[in-house]
Chains A and B, each alone.
Chain A
Amino acid sequence: DAGVIQSPRHEVTEMGQEVTLRCKPISGHDYLFWYRQTMMRGLELLIYFNNNVPIDDSGMPEDRFSAKMPNASFSTLKIQPSEPRDSAVYFCASRTSGLQSYNEQFFGPGTRLTVL
């Protein structure tokens, strides 16, 4: 079975540019989470979806960040305009709501974003 798929794996962009990160969750998983990881702050939850609907976006840093999930197999995290302080590794994770192991989140390989 394929795990969570993220693209691109690496992104280097200049300040002010728009950045779009993509995620395909594990098939059958109905929860999708976006995290950001930095040395200073560790793993931070940005937003999560259930059945394609955003449930909690309180972790989204500011209006420059937006996330969508148009269908069960695809989500995007967009930063516009990007700033150097957005440089981090962004992870997508998914999980099922089934009774067994319902809290176990499975992570993708991450997108390393560098904003110059």
Chain B
Amino acid sequence: GQQLNQSPQSMFIQEGEDVSMNCTSSSIFNTWLWYKQEPGEGPVLLIALYKAGELTSNGRLTAQFGITRKDSFLNISASIPSDVGIYFCAGQARNAGNMLTFGGGTRLMVKP
């Protein structure tokens, strides 16, 4: 089946720093989604990407759908303590029907 490699697994940064994380796949994806999960809650959708090369922003968050359709990036600018959580990428592969494949998550910790 499809595999999504998400990196880094964890990041510990200073408040105000920018953050970058990415997901790569061996398969072509039609959709990339980025979720954030806070302790004790379900994943919350942050950004959805549907076209290769697409660059979409949501406040301080920016995500891109890689031109090869096999990767995606999420950047967070000027991090703040409430950015703490686990960020997941998810993708729908071309032959995966209605199912999403999830990355392993990036645990973000922000030091005030």
CA distance A55 to B99 in the complex (A): 11
Find B42's partner among A31, A55, A104, A107 (CB 8 Å cutoff). A107
Helix, strand, loop or mixed for chain A's interface?
Answer: strand
Task: Flag if A110 contacts B99 (CB, 8 Å).
Answer: no
Can you report 25 A-B residue pairs in the complex whose CB atoms are below 8 A from each other? A4-B42, A42-B102, A42-B105, A43-B43, A43-B88, A45-B99, A45-B100, A48-B99, A56-B97, A91-B42, A103-B30, A103-B31, A103-B33, A103-B48, A103-B92, A103-B100, A105-B33, A105-B45, A105-B90, A106-B45, A107-B35, A109-B42, A110-B40, A110-B41, A110-B42
Residues of A within 8 A of B (CB): 4, 31, 42-43, 45, 48, 50, 55-56, 91, 93, 101, 103-110, 112
Asked, given contacts A101-B48, A103-B33, A103-B48, whether A31 binds B104 with beta carbons under 8 Å apart, the answer is no
